[in-house]
Amino acid sequence: VIIYNNLIQAYAEEIAIEKRHKRQTKTLFPNAPSSVDTMMDTKCKDFIEKAISLIQNMERSDRNGEFPRPDNFTYCSMCNLLAKVGNSEAAILSESYLRNVDGYDTPTWNAAISAWTSLCTIDGARRANELLNELEQSLNDAHGADDLTQGPNSLTYHTVISGWTRASLIGDSDYAATKAEHILHQMITNLKSKVPNAEYRFSPNVIAFSS
């Protein structure tokens, strides 16, 4: 399982590198031929397909009662990979993997939320916000709030705030900015709640205020 998970993480890093190269190429060579972009996108698609193939092999083994079987870290690694892609297809796919984890595993949910916020659109930020709301509801479970590996934490809120600020556009009547500020106030209000470990889950940092 560790080998499979590390391979998925490696493909995620390769995608991040290709995306970074693409941004640099557009900055340094704005008139570069479109074939360069196509080549980079093809590489990313190849890495995604390889990662999906790995996870499908693991799920097949699991159905047959064999090893290796995917664990929460497997799905978290896959959601992290898809968050680096930055399109709606990847975000939808990340959410499908999200439903395979045990409970409301915080790192995996944060990764899937990041996949939506990486779209830098109102729809992406809205879906990320809906997943945050679902995570908050999980804290109503008698045992959910005590487990720091389950439910939302400060990073969850910071990611959603980032999603709204990145979706903010001139002429949107402050819609996205208002949503971002609402999440910030929500964190501050939740700090006064009786939820166990409230300070860990809800404390906004300077980046949240700066956003």
Give every CB contact of residue 8 below 8 A, 6+ residues apart in sequence: 51, 54, 55, 74, 77, 78, 81
Q: What is the largest CA-CA distance in the chain?
A: 58
Q: Judge contact between 91 and 116, C-beta under 8 A.
A: yes
* 150: β partners: 105
- For residue 155, which of 103, 126, 124, 112 has the smallest C-alpha distance? 112
Average pLDDT of the residues in 186-209: 92
Write out the H or E segment, with its range, that includes residue 201.
helix 198-202
pTM of the model: 0.92
Between residues 33 and 199, the one the model is more confident about: 199
Average pLDDT of the residues in 55-65: 97
pLDDT at position 141 is: 72
Q: Judge contact between 128 and 109, C-beta under 8 A.
A: no
**pLDDT 10s digits, 3-49:** 999 999 999 999 999 999 988 888 888 887 877 778 888 999 999 99
- For residue 176, which of 104, 125, 102 has the smallest C-alpha distance? 125
- For residue 45, which of 22, 72, 24 has the smallest C-alpha distance? 22
Q: Which of 20-29, 45-54, 94-103, 116-125 has the weakest average pLDDT?
A: 20-29
pLDDT at position 73 is: 97
Residue type for 63, please?
A: R
**pLDDT 10s digits, 141-176:** 755 678 889 999 999 999 999 999 999 887 788 999
